[in-house]
Amino acid sequence: MSDYSYQDCLEASYRVNWRIEEVLGPRKFDPAKRWMPSALSAAPAIGCLSEAEKIKLSHVEMGAYAHLFGYVEEFIAPLITGRAKAHGEGEAFEALANFVGEEVKHMHLFRRLRRRVDGQLGFSLKLLDGEQEVTRYVLAKNPGAVLLLTACIEWFTQLHYLTAIREDSGLDVLTKNVFRAHWLEESQHAKMDHLETLRAFSAMEAPERDRAVGDLIELVAAVDGLLQKQSAYDVENLSAYLGRLFSRAEAEEIYREELKVKRWTFIASGVSHPNFVALFTQVTTPPQRERVQLALAS
Ligand SMILES: [Fe+2]
Ligand SMILES: [Fe+2]
């Protein structure tokens, strides 16, 4: 059982709804400030960059962060469209259809934010491509697994804003505006993911639940592969931005710390979120949870 309801989510969504223009407007990032919060940036852990270079690393990281959010929302929108259609009509259909509309708006918000980063940096950042291929790969997996991955993402979105972005006094104001707005709407998404995940698992027999857990492990491994690729791009992007070549040791250090913080940001902060843990515990058995823990550890 859950305290969440589709009707409450829809009403809350109408109360907080915003337009892209209100959030972005003509505002620019302040080049003298950090664009990524310290808690989600590799900068504090890197020894080979000066303080000024660390600020620039946070600019490159913001481009990747905004891109990765837009990237995952490419599969969340069609996933939730399918869930809405399955309800047919009524409160759940209306709340989920509205969820899809918000997610499409977020995709546009993040595309525009990425363009703003590129515009201010003066060149196009190297970012992951193949969104459509990844969307097809993800949506071919067991729906329970895809919903769990989605719930994980939407819960870590909450955590990032509340614990890393909101209280960071040295952070750029545009970053704060954008991720505050995103958090406001994502709060309802996370609750609806929870409801939909419970619904999907309640319709499954034991062998299918086991397949869902296997698929979730594959999805998390695929996310990790994407993070490795983007971390390598971040090193190239920073080198281009600073206009200097890194030594092998410097490049390795930046890559290692970048991957570490991206793994925390896009995987660990979600799977350890108490609300995700509660959901995951509800739909899995102790041996299944052990399987996932072993996979995460490796
Ligand atoms: Fe979103
Ligand atoms: Fe969302």
> pLDDT by residue (tens digit) across 239-279?
999 999 999 999 999 999 999 999 999 999 999 999 999 99
Q: Is residue 242 part of a domain?
A: yes
Which CATH number do you get for residue 45? 1.10.620
Handedness of CA 116, 238, 62, 176 (dihedral sign): negative
Cβ-contact 58, 44 below 8 angstroms: no
Residue-level pLDDT at 3: 87
Query: CB–CB of 175/165 below 8 Å?
Result: yes
Task: Return the pLDDT at 1.
Answer: 55
Evaluate whether 10 touches 95 at the Cβ level (below 8 Å). yes
What is the span of the domain harbouring residue 59?
6-21+40-297
**Contact indicator for 118, 125 with CB cutoff of 8 Å:** yes
pLDDT of residue 298: 80
Q: How far is the CA of 165 from the centre of ligand 2 (A)?
A: 18
Q: How far apart are CA 152 and CA 162, in angstroms?
A: 16
Is 35 a member of any domain?
no
> In this structure, are residues 165 and 171 in contact, taking their beta carbons and an 8 Å threshold?
yes
Q: Which residues surround ligand 2, an ion (CB under 5 A)?
A: 154, 186, 189
pLDDT the model gives residue 89: 86
Integer Cα distance of 138 and 127 in angstroms: 19
Query: For residue 78, how far is its CA from the centre of ligand 1 (angstroms)?
Result: 13
Amino acid 49: pLDDT? 98
* Residue 287 within any structural domain of the chain: yes
Q: Give residue 186 CA to ligand 1 midpoint distance, Å.
A: 6
Evaluate whether residue 193 is within a structural domain.
yes
Query: Whose atoms come closest to the Cα of 107: which ligand?
Result: 1
The ligand whose atoms approach the alpha carbon of 104 most closely is 1
What's the pLDDT tens digit per position in 22-77? 999 999 999 999 999 999 999 999 999 999 999 999 999 999 999 998 888 899 99
Residue 39 contacts residue 168 (beta carbons within 8 Å): yes
Residue 32 lies in a domain: no
Tokens read off for 273: 């979120």
Say if 231 falls within a structural domain: yes
Residue 121 lies in a domain: yes
Number of domains in the chain: 1
Q: 3-state secondary structure string, 188-202?
A: HHHHHHHHHHHHHHH
Q: pTM score, two decimals? A: 0.96
On whether residue 274 sits in a domain, the answer given is: yes
